[in-house]
């Protein structure tokens, strides 16, 4: 088993681009309130539900007879959201205590694992950083998004650009030596020079990992409605390409390895492969089973997928009644092949076609030939992977390889 994902669906504010399931709650830490509130009660109930689901779902991975390596040790734990940094010390203590009790035989040593907590820069106070020392968290994923105050306000982010550097410094002081930052580009009216400035500033933070994404207009988000109403306009394709090329070029010069379409990890000692690749996210791209806990969380065990209900109260009330509210599907051979195309092909290694069943190996080699001739794909050592040119049109390349 690669890891456990725990979804924390609480945010102190709603960003206009976010398509993940979350619900808005007041930020008690910033308000300075000490007494228990209704918000605390719902977060506490949710935490207990998470802990109970960990026990209820253990057999999805570890006792599944269809999984060869179901005795494999847990390698990663990832607390995502939402905003996991809104959890209290008590909440985090309950979660890690339950992991200890439920998965003791599958956890050898937390120090050898990758344990990530997502957070916002403004949550990283001195008190918060000191609290982290109590837990085995050794990696932080921070939602920086931009160094422009105007663009942060546009996104409805609750931090300011001036919060970012002090947050990094506080995390370093408390012993976090693996920090990832999220960065966005492609804002309405953003110029290439403005984007270069953001890249330069994130490099100067001297973090170990950078995830960079173009601004997405997802159906159902406030940003999408603004686009529908003509209030904002997407950047054109030519500018997007220039921004993406600038990102790749600048991060390569700064010693980062692009190991996935949107992810860059710092190399050490001249090595080609970085030790700071996200091990947890890599499991999603490399067909590794994982357990998803919490409202709207997804799980995959190699033969099926499950996803929990995207409703906070339905999730909590179900767990409290010993009922798992989820849907699922068994993955047939064709679906599994198509999943590999849309995940593994995103990585620098690409797809190992020797692992494909003969039917699909023959198929992908046939449909890939025109893409190889056009230098969008390359076949090396039984691995089919995107070229630099292919990365820019990766969606259309994957579409050509899909089995129908």
108-141, pLDDT tens digit by residue?
788 899 999 999 999 999 999 999 999 999 999 9
Q: What is the pLDDT of residues 69-96, one digit of tens each?
A: 545 789 999 999 989 999 999 999 999 9
Instruction: Examine the domain organization and report whether 369 and 243 are in the same domain.
Output: no
Pairing state of beta strands 114-119 and 76-81? parallel
User: Cβ(7)–Cβ(82) under 8 Å?
Assistant: yes
Mean pLDDT of 183-189: 96
Instruction: Examine the domain organization and report whether 358 and 271 are in the same domain.
Output: no
Residue 363 lies in a domain: yes
Percent of the chain with pLDDT strictly greater than 90: 83
Number of folded domains that form the chain? 2
Q: Which domain holds residue 173?
A: 2-283
Q: Give the whole-angstrom CA distance, residue 366 versus residue 348.
A: 21
Residue 369 lies in a domain: yes
Residue 315 lies in a domain: no
> Which of these three, 283, 302, 331, is where a domain ends?
283
DSSP letter at 73 equals: P
Instruction: Examine the domain organization and report whether 230 and 142 are in the same domain.
Output: yes
Residues contacting residue 219 through CB under 8 Å, at least 6 positions apart: none
pLDDT of residue 31: 47
> Please, what is the Cα angle at 148 between 150 and 395, to 5 degrees?
100
Residue 92 lies in a domain: yes
Residue 344 lies in a domain: no
pLDDT of residue 35: 52
Instruction: Examine the domain organization and report whether 273 and 367 are in the same domain.
Output: no
Instruction: Examine the domain organization and report whether 134 and 219 are in the same domain.
Output: yes
The CA–CA distances, whole Å, from 178 to 86, 118, 142, 167, 280 equal: 20, 12, 11, 13, 13
Confidence of residue 270 (pLDDT cuts 50, 70, 90): confident
Q: Give the whole-angstrom CA distance, residue 63 versus residue 371.
A: 42
Instruction: Examine the domain organization and report whether 268 and 380 are in the same domain.
Output: no
Instruction: Examine the domain organization and report whether 273 and 356 are in the same domain.
Output: no
Instruction: Examine the domain organization and report whether 69 and 211 are in the same domain.
Output: yes
Residue 297 lies in a domain: no
Instruction: Examine the domain organization and report whether 137 and 277 are in the same domain.
Output: yes
> Which of these three, 226, 249, 283, is where a domain ends?
283
Instruction: Examine the domain organization and report whether 258 and 371 are in the same domain.
Output: no
Mean pLDDT of 50-57: 95
Instruction: Examine the domain organization and report whether 29 and 105 are in the same domain.
Output: yes
Residue 314 lies in a domain: no
* pTM for the structure as a whole: 0.93
Residue 312 lies in a domain: no
> Which of these three, 254, 283, 312, is where a domain ends?
283
Instruction: Examine the domain organization and report whether 126 and 261 are in the same domain.
Output: yes
For residue 197, the domain's CATH number is: 3.30.750.200
């Amino acid at each position: 088993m690669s890891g456990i994902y725990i979804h924390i669906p609480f945010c102190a504010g709603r960003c206009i681009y976010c398509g993940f399931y979350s619900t808005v709650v007041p930020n008690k830490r910033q308000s300075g309130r000490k007494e228990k509130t209704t918000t605390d009660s719902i977060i506490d109930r949710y935490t207990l539900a998470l802990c109970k689901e960990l026990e209820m779902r253990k057999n999805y991975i570890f006792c599944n007879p269809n999984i060869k390596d179901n005795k494999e040790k847990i390698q990663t734990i990832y607390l995502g959201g939402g905003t996991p940094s809104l959890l209290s010390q008590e909440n985090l203590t309950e979660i890690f205590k339950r992991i200890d009790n439920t998965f003791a035989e599958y956890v050898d040593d937390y120090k050898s694992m990758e344990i990530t907590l997502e957070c916002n820069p403004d949550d990283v106070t001195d008190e918060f950083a000191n609290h982290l020392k109590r837990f085995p968290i050794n990696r932080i994923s921070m939602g920086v998004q931009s160094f422009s105050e105007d663009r942060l306000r546009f996104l409805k982010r609750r931090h300011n650009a001036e919060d970012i550097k002090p947050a990094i410094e506080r995390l370093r002081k408390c012993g976090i030596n693996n920090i990832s930052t999220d960065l966005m580009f492609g804002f309405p009216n953003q110029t290439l020079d403005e984007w270069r400035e953001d890249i330069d500033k994130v490099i100067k933070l001297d973090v170990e990992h950078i995830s960079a994404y173009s601004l997405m207009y997802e159906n159902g988000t406030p940003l999408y409605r603004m686009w529908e109403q003509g209030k904002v306009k997407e950047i054109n394709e030519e500018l997007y390409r220039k921004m993406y090329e600038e990102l790749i070029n600048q991060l390569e010069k700064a010693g980062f390895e692009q190991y996935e379409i949107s992810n860059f990890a710092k190399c050490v000692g001249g090595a080609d492969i970085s030790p700071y690749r996200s091990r947890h996210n890599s499991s999603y791209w490399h067909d590794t089973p994982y357990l998803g806990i919490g409202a709207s969380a997804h799980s995959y065990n190699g033969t099926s997928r499950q996803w929990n209900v995207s409703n906070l109260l339905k999730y909590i009330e179900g767990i409290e009644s010993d009922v798992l509210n989820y849907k699922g599907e068994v993955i047939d051979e064709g679906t599994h092949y198509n999943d590999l195309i849309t995940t593994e092909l995103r990585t620098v290694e690409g797809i190992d076609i020797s692992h494909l069943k003969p039917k699909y190996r023959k198929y992908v080699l046939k449909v890939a030939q025109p893409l190889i001739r056009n230098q969008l794909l390359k076949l090396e050592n039984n691995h089919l992977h995107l070229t630099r040119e292919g990365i820019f049109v990766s969606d259309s390349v994957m579409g050509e390889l899909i089995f129908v």
